[in-house]
Chains A and B, each alone.
Chain A
Amino acid sequence: MTYRFSTRQTLAHGFLILGAIIVLLPFYVMISTSFKSPAEIATGTGGVFGSQALFPDPTCLALGGNEPDCLVRPVLDNYSQAFTAAPMWRYLLNGVIVTLSIFALQTLVAVPAAYALAKLKFWGRDAAFALVLFCLLIPVHAIALPLYLMLAKLGLTNSYAALILPWIVSAFGIFLMRQFFMTVPDDLIDAARMDGMGEFAIIWRVMLPTAIPALLAFAIFSVVAHWNDYFWPRIVITGDRSLFTPPLGLREFKGDLGGDFYGPMMASATVIAVPLVVAFLLAQRRFIDGITLSGMK
């Protein structure tokens, strides 16, 4: 097969490549910085991976160590700092607990709500759906203060509940699942009723399994948003470091007076980003070969 040169295609691809570079550049800086020694970071030298020349660890020297004993390799030092200077494992665990709890509870609310909005007939259904759409327009920051006050009054700040509870009703999740449920044939639900299922059995035994692809799409939005969220945990977790989520953990390396530790900070950022990238490379396949409705008509 031969390919003919096409100006249009070349321009289009050039434009897309430019876009990809703009998106990927911060990741390049993050990963590259996590490999370098402080001197290389400060001077902007060392290429992609840094020279990996040994350098004396300032903390070790400050504690009175000999220079030959305190020599470390930049990449190893950055990543070991990421895990030792801050309880990174704890932060990652918190991140997993919080994002998975949020997603599970969101599913528990969104799937029945979406089923009712898509398939049940009741007075005010359209108005209720319009309200859900309206909720999509409200930015989180607009309601952050009242939410914080409510949690504070309930004495729930500095707890997992503060991180999870405000997010369990997701207007986007309800909307997304409702749109998917609209495509499920009514006959399937009627068949389930004839087979002796109640409405909740229909939701969990029929609607949910057929909606796995839609649920996965929602999972990506939900997990990414809450794993990466810095704003809300920063507000409700004020003292207790054991409740820090990974993005809050990055602040450990913002040294204020002692100077910033960019190397370990970028190493932490890389560690935080990796689970998401891996999870969604795996989930990608499920999108394609997920259960389809093709067996129904």
Chain B
Amino acid sequence: MRWPKPLVSLIRMKILLAEDDPDTRQFVEEALGEMGHGVMATASGAQALDWARDSGADILVLDRMLPDLDGIAVLRALRGGGHGIPVLMLTALGRIEDRVDGLDAGADDYLVKPFAISELVARINALTRRTVPVEAGPCFGGIALDLRTRQVTRDGRAILLQPREFRLLEELVREGGAFVTRKMLLERVWDFHFDPQTKIVETHMSRLRSKLNEGFAGDAIETVRGMGYRVRPS
């Protein structure tokens, strides 16, 4: 299988997958495996809970509805026991209330089915990245941000951005060279948990890109269709 290059990981992660639909389970297990990760998959909530406690996995991808112990119960048991493993909840329930329930129970992120595998991978990457201690100035690919003064430089040259453009760039820079999807940007920059069905992200991104690239030869931001955006590593 030839997955797009950016999806293939250099770091091998240990991923737990609890999903009762065999089709989805097999697809996700195979896809993540082919991208270079170690995947342990089960249809049982109880099994997933045991693994999450003992296996030292990097992340648990947990379906909301499982036949034995449902996803919310697994999550409550984990968080109740003080276990901090990142949990990405998958669900076929797309209601606004369902998302709130999932996040309240302690999920770190929430993804409604059907999803693109690139969306899943981008979110797994975001959740498993070793969190860098909060510092005032994240930087990547020659772009440096000052969160206090809201100043941006590319290779030392100052660039003037609108507040929303700054927030967009901040998300990209924080992710390092990883891809951030359109959906993730809508959630993080606008706090929109719905699809506005307009080109909000695209429009802002094109403006941001032209500001960043003015006077430079190389494009600072890389766009891959169906995957999203990232800051191009210098």
A and B associate: no
Chain B interfacial positions (CB closer than 8 Å to A): none
